[in-house]
A = this chain, B = another copy of it.
Amino acid sequence: MMKERVIFVTNDDGYSAKGFAAAIEVARRFGKVIAVAPEVVQSGKSQAITIYDMLRARLISQSEDVTIYALNGTPVDCVKFALDHLLADQKVDLAISGVNHGPNSGSNVLYSGTMGAAIESSFYGIPSIGLSNLDDNSDADFTACIEYGVAIAQRVLESDLPRPLALNVNIPKLPTEQIKGIKVCRQTRGFWRDHFHKHTDPHGRDYYWLTGGFVNFEPEAEESDEWALANGYVAVVPVQVDLTAYNQLDILRRTL
């Protein structure tokens, strides 16, 4: 008999998020699920780790198929706690991070806790899928996310893709039947530009709220993930972990 697969699940919205339940629903189709998610929302935490604080783990629920822990750390802390501690002696077949409430397309990938965890998981040689729903509502509909999540996970598990493998998968805010299919893309060029909203507290002291929006430098680029999403496709971008700008090496060698 084939040994049952082990699937690791995490997210950045915290263990009680609706999208986390959706990711577990994807994962349990393929094997036994071990899930470790942050106690509280960790959106925008990128690949942050906790160095100067202690971490506490709490068992949320346990059944034959699904075990869930909450950890008072970042998404990457959850990955490390799962893969270097809880599951250190086990083969893990797949990692799923999400489903995030809100997009992680374009340069969002750099700030995303969901993708921080997906990238971190890929360091362990485990194929890793970050799933994000363009609908950031806490009660968003995850039907299409589950359907496409299952399809992509199935193909990743059945193929022998190169490692490290970390896929940034974004799903449009559309009913499943209106989605045109999967498009493998590159990260859209563009950056966030931000505003600081100044408020004053009752004691007369100023404080700020950081807000902003993504500025797309190439809205017409059909190979970009933003274009795919705007045109009704599920966007899949493979993410790399070697940040070297190879095309700048020569000019830097001549300059420095």
Contacts and interface: CB of A to CB of B under 8 A. Distances in A.
Q: How many copies does the complex hold?
A: 2
Contact of A244 (B46, B208, B240): B240
A47 B47 contact: yes
- Chain A contact residues: helix, strand, loop or mixed: mixed
A207 B188 CA distance: 41
A213 to B, nearest CB: 11
A202 interface: no
Interface string A17-56: 0000000000000000000000001011111111110111
Nearest to A77: B210
Interface residues of A, number: 78
Interface in A208-242: 208-210, 212, 236-242
7 contacts: A80-B196, A84-B193, A84-B195, A123-B192, A161-B248, A161-B252, A186-B246
Interface of A: 41, 43-52, 54-57, 73, 76-77, 80-81, 84-85, 107, 109-111, 113, 116, 119, 123-124, 152, 155-156, 159, 161-162, 165, 167-168, 182, 184, 186-187, 189, 191-196, 199, 205-210, 212, 236-249, 251-253, 255-256
